[in-house]
Structure 1
Amino acid sequence: MDAASLTAIYQSSKDSVRFFVPLNNKRYLLSFDIPPDRIVEMDWWDSVQLTHPSSPGTILKIHCTPAQHNSFRAANDTNTALWSSWYLEHLRPSHPAFRVFFAGDGGYQFHPSPSWPPPPPSSVQNQYTTTDNATATTNSHNSDDEASEYPPCPAFRQIRTRLGAPHLLLLPVSVGATYAYLRSFVPLPDWCNPFPRHSEGVTGANHMGPWDAVRVLRVMTDARRDEEDGAVAIVGRRTYEKGLSEEELCL
């Protein structure tokens, strides 16, 4: 969110708005002339509760949660401010809690293989349907060797374990992020382009592609359980029968 948007939000709701930011990000909002008493800095696993006089007993609980991404605004402030995700709980008397996870921008796993991401398996007949005899394929590019050498970010599993499975997940889906964006401005052939092509998985440590977003969905919701449970995996508003591979869920 840019400075103009933040300033406009403050100007429109001066009496009630609060800004919650990770550690050492308050300074930026102060530079936009937002008063310090409207800004709350939070560390990972910090939480605050908001209430409203018109809704007794109703609570919005905000958790600052971990995320995997570097931070900088200039060359001299690299990684001097915390990066985070956010987890919200809406609590009402006599109602079940509703939990939302906002990942913001972050990565799940570095994938060094130039053949990553893998192509859709041949067992998939079309984008939305499967047949009873469709067989799941094994992702040869996600071997145990790669997983051990480049382990996935543990934050998502930790968040689910500590705070519970969210009902709604807002996850980023990247196609290369900053690197691909900069490369798009250079109208040169590959052999002399200062931004050479690379595997989309190389930026996976900071920006998750669709294949990793599906993995995070699974980790945080336990949607994929053992087959004995008769579980299904739910992605958006579509339900896929058990037995599909990770690549099929990415379609």
Structure 2
Amino acid sequence: MDRRSLGRIASAAAVLTMGGVGYAAAVRRRNPYYDGPVSDHFDGIRFFRPGIATDRGPLELLRWQMGGGRAAWPSSYPSAFADRPPERVAGLRAVLVGHATMLLQLAGLNILVDPVWSERASPVRLAGPRRANPPGIAFADLPPIDAVLVTHNHYDHLDTATISRLWERSQPRVVAPLGNDAIINGHDDEVRVETLDWGQSLDLGSGVTVHLEPANHWSARGINDRRMALWGAYAVTSPVGTVYLAGDTGYGDGDTFRAVRERFGAPKLAVLPIGAYEPRWFMGGQHMNPADAVLAFRDLAAENAVGVHWGTFQLTNEAIDAPVQDLAVALGEAGIAPARFRALRPGEVWTPGETAAG
């Protein structure tokens, strides 16, 4: 086996524990994160979404990694944007920090979603997916953070080092799905984490409430803990409108998005993942492609959307700019104005006024 093939297998191992893909647990054992009652989506050891299968095994992982088709990413893909956000916003302002990390400012509160300021999305410092661009907001330029929302425990979404830095800085309310408190506190037992199950809500004050909703995804920090912590999406309701944060999800049959619209009404803004989607035979159940994201946008009946989860960490096969090109095609085929669904770059700001002007 040549050096390149060995390198691809090493990369696959890093991705395995990073969260882009993963094995089913090799050993069935007690859940180390959560010890709650059995429910319609928890069997006493693992969480699941009824009727939805996202698990992939080692042979499928090897088929993907050795099958070719992986586009070469540039080592640097700098953004033209950099943001220094205001301290507070009475209305609604959203900015992509990078990948899935977003600063949401609404109704006077500052909320960080899936904050990752580390150089790599990986369990180790010297391997795994590395940033192609710096965070669009320097950590020192962050306003006071009132709340942190974690969607799930994959390393490109749950960065415990960044959570600790934020806690030391301003002790925000940290909100996460069931079981993720154990992971965060395993790194830093000073952090206070409030957990939610699907369908549960938490009042953040100022008329802002976060609601955890189902998503078609999974969780793992290693090879033996698959689906032992819950994952999800958030609907954030506020006096200035509802923002839907999809986290990571496959499209499925669209029921998760239609349920959000039925429960909360049409969101003012939907934050939808548009990257990490090739090859489809492997990724389709767990990650949307841009065409799926456009379907989700229509199911939600959202006023506007922004595309995230692309262009910072290479997790899958598509080229670094393929999500932008594929989104443009999908919007054109659906007859949706591009200004209503923008693929954001790190540091790029979205506000309702700017989108309306576009």
When normalised by structure 1's length, the TM-score is 0.57
Structure 2 equivalent of residue 9 of structure 1: 166
CA distance in 1: counterparts of 2:337 and 2:292, whole angstroms: 11
The Cα shift of 1:31 comes to 1.4
| Structure label with greater radius of gyration | 1
Structure 1 equivalent of residue 209 of structure 2: 61
Query: Is the contact between residue 198 and residue 214 of structure 2 (CA under 8 Å) also seen in structure 1?
Result: yes
The Cα shift of 1:249 comes to 7.2
Structure 1 residues 209 and 248, CA, compared in 2 at 3 Å: closer, same or farther? same
Structure 1 equivalent of residue 242 of structure 2: 99
Structure 1 equivalent of residue 257 of structure 2: 156
The Cα shift of 1:170 comes to 0.6
Structure 1 residues 235 and 4, CA, compared in 2 at 3 Å: closer, same or farther? closer
1:41 aligned to which of 174, 195, 201: 195
**Structure 1 regions of 5+ residues with no counterpart?**
52-57, 92-96, 110-151, 181-197, 224-233
Q: How much identity, in percent, do the aligned residues show?
A: 30
Structure 2 equivalent of residue 32 of structure 1: 187
CA distance in 1: counterparts of 2:302 and 2:284, whole angstroms: 22
List aligned pairs for 1:122-201, cutoff 5 A. Answer: 152-176=253-277, 198=279, 200=280
- 1:125-153 alpha-carbon deviations (Å, 9 max, x no partner): xxxxxxxxxxxxxxxxxxxxxxxxxxx14
The SS at the match of 1:155 is: helix
Structure 1 runs of 4+ off > 4 angstroms? 247-251
Which of structures 1 and 2 has the larger relative contact order (alpha carbons within 8 angstroms, sep 6+)? 2
- The two structures, once aligned, show a CA RMSD in angstroms of 2.8
Structure 2 equivalent of residue 75 of structure 1: 223
Aligned length: 159
Structure 2 equivalent of residue 220 of structure 1: 300
The Cα shift of 1:99 comes to 0.6
1:246 aligned to which of 317, 331, 334: 334
**Structure 2 regions of 5+ residues with no counterpart?**
1-157, 307-327, 342-358
- 1:43-85 alpha-carbon deviations (Å, 9 max, x no partner): 001001122xxxxxx3110101111101111222111111100
The Cα shift of 1:246 comes to 3.2
The Cα shift of 1:175 comes to 3.9
The SS at the match of 2:243 is: strand
- 1:140-171 alpha-carbon deviations (Å, 9 max, x no partner): xxxxxxxxxxxx14111111111211101110
